[in-house]
Chains A and B, each alone.
Chain A
Amino acid sequence: KNEVEQSPQNLTAQEGEFITINCSYSVGISALHWLQQHPGGGIVSLFMLSSGKKKHGRLIATINIQEKHSSLHITASHPRDSAVYICAVPSPIIQGAQKLVFGQGTRLTINP
Chain B
Amino acid sequence: EAGVTQSPTHLIKTRGQQATLRCSPISGHTSVYWYQQALGLGLQFLLWYDEGEERNRGNFPPRFSGRQFPNYSSELNVNALELEDSALYLCASSLFRTLISNQPQHFGDGTRLSIL
Chain A residues at the B interface, C-beta cutoff of 8 Å: 30-31, 33, 35, 40-45, 48, 50, 86, 88, 90-105
CA separation between A97 and B96, bound complex, in Å? 6
Considering only CB atoms and an 8 Å cut-off, how many residues of chain B contact the other chain?
Answer: 32
What's the nearest-Cβ distance from chain A to residue B42, in Å?
5
24 A-B residue pairings within 8 Å (CB atoms): A30-B102, A31-B102, A35-B107, A40-B109, A42-B108, A43-B90, A43-B92, A45-B106, A48-B102, A86-B42, A88-B43, A90-B101, A90-B102, A92-B101, A94-B56, A95-B98, A95-B99, A95-B101, A96-B101, A97-B56, A98-B102, A99-B45, A100-B43, A104-B42
Residues of B within 8 A of A99 (CB): 33, 45, 48, 56, 58
Q: Does B110 contact A (CB under 8 A)?
A: yes
Q: Does B62 contact A (CB under 8 A)?
A: no
Residues of B within 8 A of A43 (CB): 90, 92, 107, 110
| 5 interchain residue pairs of minimum CB distance | A42-B109, A43-B107, A96-B98, A99-B45, A102-B43
CA separation between A104 and B101, bound complex, in Å? 24
CA separation between A93 and B87, bound complex, in Å? 24
Chain B residues at the A interface, C-beta cutoff of 8 Å: 31, 33, 35, 37, 42-45, 48, 50, 55-56, 58, 88, 90, 92, 96-110, 112
What's the nearest-Cβ distance from chain B to residue A21, in Å?
15
What's the nearest-Cβ distance from chain B to residue A49, in Å?
10
What's the nearest-Cβ distance from chain B to residue A14, in Å?
28
CA separation between A50 and B101, bound complex, in Å? 11
For A38, the closest partner residue in chain B by CB is: B109
Residues of B within 8 A of A93 (CB): 48, 55-56
CA separation between A2 and B97, bound complex, in Å? 23
Q: Is the CB of B102 within 8 A of A97?
A: no
CB < 8 Å: which of A40, A96, A100 contacts B97?
A: A96
CA separation between A90 and B100, bound complex, in Å? 13
